[in-house]
Structure 1
Amino acid sequence: MKVSTGASMSIDGYVSGPGETGFEHLFAWYGNGDVEMPTGNPEMTFRMTQQSYDHQKAWTGEMGALVVGRKLFDMTNAWGGMHPLQVPTVVLTHNPPAGFEDNKWFAFETGGIEAAITKAYELGGGKTVGLNSGTIASQALDAGLVDEVWVDLVPVILGGGTPFFSQLGNIPVELEGPLEAVQGNRVTHLRFKVKK
């Protein structure tokens, strides 16, 4: 089983700024090129450089399913019923919401990060499980379950907010690489392997 986590991150290590701000900087590279990348949401088509497109296509192409937290699920309003990557999405939560019993795109797990990753692996047909950054990625990294970390490093300093990883109990965590370093427009795409 391969488990990876990836995020757009500021130079100072944040995936969102104070009070859930800064996204216009962190995600600008999704729209600063001329290569179209459609998503599962017809109203959301990215336009990125060829370098960013190739990098993103490689990451999303190996993805079988995702594990996200309830906060992101609620903040995005469940992405309108399907994650833009069009893969099964397991929501780790203590309190599964009503109204999603027949939705084929979402599953809810209350049994912890390992159970959520196992469920995502099964739903994704054995392909790579992707984790959203923050609490989910941190729990999985602490449990020794993360194989790769993909960072889209954006040249902005946010000065605070939500870090990519936080409150880790097993530190330091050594990474191998970068296995890949790709320069896009106002973003550097990096891929690392977690040393085990």
Structure 2
Amino acid sequence: MSTCFYTASSLDGFIATPDDSLDWLLNQDIDENGPMAYPGFIADVGALAMGATTYEWVMEHENGEWTYDQPTWVFTHRDLRPPQHGDVRLVQGDVRRVHAEMTAVAEGRDIWIVGGGELAGQFADAGLLDEVWVQFAPVTLGAGAPLLPRRLDLELIDVARNRAFACTRYRVLHDAQGRDAA
């Protein structure tokens, strides 16, 4: 079981535009059955974590329908409503406590930090982030939400090309106390 931040990024290191849009990503050329593609990744995921902005984007673009089968923890200080169908838990506070719940529910499967970069950074700060998977799209945004607003030491463990994307997978290096090495 691993806790992974799996995401796409522009070449200049942004995962969303300044107005939190992912539209730049939706017209990119990727093989859904190719290397490091979403269907292969999600098949091993037992629980999800996401921030409020990501949750709101998903709900808007799925017309209010929840499309994930896995239990999902949404970290928020906002007054959000969970969808009518699906296991969505609105939480706040320390990611360590929530990670313990997620681990129990995931039953040996991976935990996916869906977004955003700040939330993934909080898991990294707590020494709980194991891997970072980034699909780099052939686009620059110039500004927006940064991929990971932290310094992390990473080890490249896999790289592949999936049509227009440069796909990378890294292991987060931890120090002797289990914290990130940075």
Going from structure 1 to structure 2, the CA distance change for 1:12 and 1:90 (only over 3 Å counts) comes to same
Structure 2: state its 5+ residue gaps: 175-182
| 1:95/1:26 CA distance change after superposition, 3 Å | closer
Among all aligned residue pairs of Structure 1 and Structure 2, give the percentage whose two residues are the same amino acid.
23
- TM-score if structure 2 supplies the norm length? 0.81
Secondary structure of the 1:193 match is strand
What is the TM-score normalised by the length of structure 1?
0.76
Partner SS, residue 99 of structure 2 = helix
1:66, CA displacement in angstroms?
0.4
Unpaired segments of 5 or more residues in structure 1? 34-47
For 1:188, the equivalent position in structure 2 comes to 166
Which string of whole-angstrom CA distances, capped at 9 and with x for unpartnered residues, describes residues 19-58 of structure 1?
Answer: 224x3432334xx46xxxxxxxxxxxxxx35425x63333
Deviation of 1:111 after TM superposition, in Å, equals: 3.1
**Which residue of structure 2 aligns with residue 7 of structure 1?**
7
Structure 2 residue identity aligned to 1:154:
A
2:24 is the alignment partner of 1:25: yes
| TM superposition shift of 1:94 | 3.2
Partners of 2:131 and 2:140 lie apart in 1 by: 24
- Answering whether residue 130 of structure 2 is matched by residue 147 of structure 1, we say yes
Aligned counterpart for 1:56 among listed residues 34, 38, 43:
38
> What is the CA–CA distance in structure 1 between the aligned matches of 2:17 and 2:154, rounded to whole Å?
25
The Cα RMSD (Å) is 2.4
Q: Distance in 1 between matches of 2:40 and 2:79?
A: 32
2:75 to 92, 106, 112: 92
Task: Give the 3 Å change call, closer, same or farther, for CA 74–108 of structure 1 in structure 2.
Answer: same
**CA-to-aligned-CA distance 1:50-95 (integer Å, 9 cap, x gap):** 425x63333112111100112222233375342x342111111235
What is the identity, as a one-letter code, of the residue corresponding to 2:12?
D
State the SS of the aligned residue for 2:15. Answer: strand
Q: 1:145 to 1:98 in 2, by over 3 A?
A: same
Instruction: Choose from 149, 153, 166 the match for 1:174.
Output: 153
Cα distance in 1, alignment partners of residues 32 and 81 from structure 2: 40
**Where does structure 1 differ by over 6 angstroms across 4 or more consecutive aligned residues?**
none
1:55 & 1:86 partners in 2: Cα distance?
18
Q: How many residues align?
A: 171
Between 2-11 and 130-139, the greater mean CA deviation after superposition: 130-139
Residues 79-118 of structure 1 mapped to structure 2, 5 A cutoff: 79=62, 80-82=64-66, 84-95=67-78, 97-98=80-81, 103-118=85-100
| 2:126 is aligned with 1:127 | no
Q: In structure 1, what is the Cα distance between the partners aligned to 2:85 and 2:37?
A: 30
Distance (Å, rounded) in 2 between the aligned partners of 1:158 and 1:150: 20
CA contact (8 A) 2:160 2:167 kept: yes
